[in-house]
């Protein structure tokens, strides 16, 4: 199938037209309107510094239903014997920057370019992108970020400077999503880390059906403004 060249008009080709590897379109920009239009369809940008903007719709798609979260006994024991504070939307730019830096330290290629950081920080200021932070001794030790539309959270990246801190951030996120009736987390790519915590793959068509069902509005959800911090203290 051809890879579509985007124009100034904020329109995407149908996700079913993506290549087998998920690549759907090239070009465009990272404006808030275009990003939101893409996420509404399950389409996301992913590219490196030397590439033009590339847009993807991967199938099968890894998702996590909040009620399917699995926490191992080992992780539960670790949670009871640690001292960390978990917050939401307290340090978005620090988290997204740390996700990029962490990948570089691991000698991994990162799609979180300065352009992407600026674009998602803008989405955060508009009320669509959100972060979960894990703090140890007052320092950021782990976290994740993503985009929320309707009752779907699109996970983008996470990092852990201290063992299990990104898992704690994910658990805190899922508890928050459950409390506020979110129905789906898009994990994008399959990883052992996420499947061990209950994520599973769906076909592209199943994923599209869930997006249509659970995204009835793209107005920012004000529940993210609530204070949702908790502290784990050697419980």
What is the per-residue pLDDT across 150-182, written as a single tens digit (0 to 9) for each? 999 999 999 999 988 999 999 999 999 999 999
| pLDDT for 217 beyond 70 | yes
- 73-124 pLDDT, tens digit per residue, is 887 777 777 778 999 999 999 999 999 987 666 656 678 999 999 999 999 9
| pLDDT for 233 beyond 60 | no
| pLDDT for 234 beyond 60 | no
Angle at 32 between CA 27 and CA 38, to 5 degrees: 60
**Domain 62-233 sits in CATH 3.40.630.10:** no
Average pLDDT, the chain: 91
Domain ranges (residues) in the chain:
4-58, 62-233
| pLDDT for 229 beyond 80 | no
Per-residue pLDDT, 227: 67
Smallest Cα–Cα separation from 188: which of 51, 38, 70, 87?
Answer: 38
- 188-214 pLDDT, tens digit per residue, is 888 888 999 999 999 999 999 999 999
**Domain 4-58 sits in CATH 3.30.70.3550:** yes
| pLDDT for 22 beyond 90 | yes
Half-sphere exposure in the Cβ direction for 107 (13 Å, CA) = 0
| pLDDT for 56 beyond 60 | yes
Token output for 155: 């996970």
Angle at 11 between CA 206 and CA 9, to 5 degrees: 170
Per-residue pLDDT, 144: 97
Half-sphere exposure in the Cβ direction for 94 (13 Å, CA) = 16
**Single pTM value for the model:** 0.93
| pLDDT for 145 beyond 60 | yes
- What does the DSSP assignment read for the chain? -PPEEP-SS-----GGGS-TTSEEEE-----HHHHHHHHHTT-EE---TTSPPEEE--SSEEEE-GGG----HHHHHHHHT-EEEEEESS-HHHHHHHHHHHHHHTT------HHHHHHHHHHHHHTSEEEEEEEETTEEEEEEEEEEETTEEEEEEEEESSTTHHHHHHHHHHHHHHHTT--EEEEES--HHHHTTT-EEE-HHHHHHHHHHH-S--SPPGGGGS---EEEE--
| pLDDT for 34 beyond 50 | yes
Per-residue pLDDT, 215: 98
Half-sphere exposure in the Cβ direction for 1 (13 Å, CA) = 16
């Amino acid at each position: 199938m051809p890879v579509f060249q985007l124009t100034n008009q904020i329109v995407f080709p149908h996700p079913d037209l993506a290549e087998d590897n998920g690549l759907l379109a090239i070009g465009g920009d990272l404006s808030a309107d275009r990003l939101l239009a893409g996420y509404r369809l399950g389409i996301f940008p992913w590219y490196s510094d030397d590439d033009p903007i590339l847009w993807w719709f991967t199938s099968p798609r890894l998702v996590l239903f909040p009620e399917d979260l699995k926490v191992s006994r080992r992780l539960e024991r670790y949670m009871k014997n640690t001292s960390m504070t978990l917050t939401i939307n307290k340090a978005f730019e620090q988290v997204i920057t740390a996700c990029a830096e962490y990948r570089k330290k691991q000698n991994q290629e990162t799609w979180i370019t300065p352009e992407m950081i600026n674009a998602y920080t803008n989405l955060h200021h508009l009320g669509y992108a959100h972060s979960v932070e894990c703090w140890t001794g007052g320092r950021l030790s782990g976290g994740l970020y993503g985009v929320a539309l309707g009752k779907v959270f699109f996970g983008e990246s996470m990092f852990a400077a201290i063992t299990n801190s990104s898992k704690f951030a994910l658990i805190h996120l899922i508890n928050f999503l459950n409390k506020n009736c979110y129905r789906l987390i898009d994990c994008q790519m399959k990883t052992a880390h996420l499947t061990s915590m209950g994520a599973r793959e769906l076909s592209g068509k199943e994923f599209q059906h869930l997006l249509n069902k659970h995204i009835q509005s793209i107005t920012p959800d004000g529940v993210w403004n609530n204070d949702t911090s908790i502290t784990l203290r050697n419980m």
